[in-house]
């Protein structure tokens, strides 16, 4: 074999070796890309799972209901403090949720009307005393004596029956018995009118208000 033939043979071997090395590099690169793709897919799955968890979080409506119920409790406390003492026999959301009206009965049977802001944190105006006659005083005293559950306990009982926002709650007479009568709006916006026994908390009636 002459020098020219040897050179050609060496050249072919070098070319073959380069081809082999190039193919190996491509395989390695392909594996790395596959690994990255797998990582990307895994990351994508993780993102989807996170989105699912977020979707399972409490709804905006539930959060709003909780905030509104907290405001009602605050309004009750604020009204009682404004009067100085007494028993809350009624609380009602007014003005499309912009304020609360709270009725407080003092030890003399007189009914005091208090208005608070939407958060229930401050009194709007000055508490007023209703012009209660002897019959009103007797009825107020009867309600207060029969109500073993206070307004906060009653609100909790209503929410046990229907989860949602308590928009109105007050002591009333139903078939000769004293009851807590209230309205609860569920997450779908449906209003439920509920009565519970003012002494035991047992559900007396639970109806959907179709006229609202």
In order along its 212 residues, the chain shows pLDDT tens digits of 433 444 444 444 444 444 444 444 444 444 445 554 554 444 444 433 333 333 344 456 667 777 789 999 999 999 999 999 999 999 999 999 999 999 999 999 999 999 999 999 999 999 999 988 999 999 999 999 999 999 999 999 999 999 999 999 999 999 999 999 999 999 999 999 999 999 999 999 999 987 75
Q: What is the pTM of this model?
A: 0.70
* Whether 74 contacts 120, CB under 8 Å: yes
C-alpha dihedral (164, 170, 171, 176), degrees to nearest 10: -70
Residues 6+ apart with CB under 8 A from 136: 109, 111, 130
* Whether 192 contacts 203, CB under 8 Å: no
Assess if CATH 3.90.960.10 describes domain 60-208: no
Residue 150's nearest CA partner among 184, 192, 119, 196 is 196
Q: How far is Cα 202 from Cα 179, in angstroms, rounded to an integer?
A: 10
Domain positions in the chain = 1-57, 60-208
């Amino acid at each position: 074999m002459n020098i020219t033939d040897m050179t050609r043979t060496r050249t072919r071997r070098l070319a073959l070796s380069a081809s082999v090395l190039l193919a190996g590099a491509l395989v390695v690169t392909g594996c790395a890309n596959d690994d990255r793709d797998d990582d990307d897919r895994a990351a994508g799955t993780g993102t989807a799972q996170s989105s699912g968890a977020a979707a399972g979080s409490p709804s905006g409506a539930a959060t709003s209901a909780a905030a509104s119920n907290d405001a009602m409790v605050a309004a009750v406390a604020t009204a009682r403090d404004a009067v100085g003492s007494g028993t809350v026999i009624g609380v009602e959301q007014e003005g499309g949720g912009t304020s609360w009206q709270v009725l407080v009965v003092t030890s003399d049977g007189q009914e005091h009307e208090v208005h608070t802001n939407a958060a229930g944190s401050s009194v709007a105006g000055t508490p007023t005393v209703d012009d209660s006659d002897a019959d009103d005083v007797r009825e107020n005293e009867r309600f207060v004596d029969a109500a073993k559950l206070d307004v906060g306990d009653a609100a909790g009982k209503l929410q046990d029956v229907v989860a949602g926002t308590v928009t109105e709650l007050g002591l009333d007479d139903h078939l000769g018995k004293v009851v807590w009568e209230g309205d609860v709006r569920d997450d779908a916006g449906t209003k439920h009118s509920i009565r519970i026994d003012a002494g035991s908390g047992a559900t007396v009636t639970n109806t959907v208000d179709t006229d609202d």
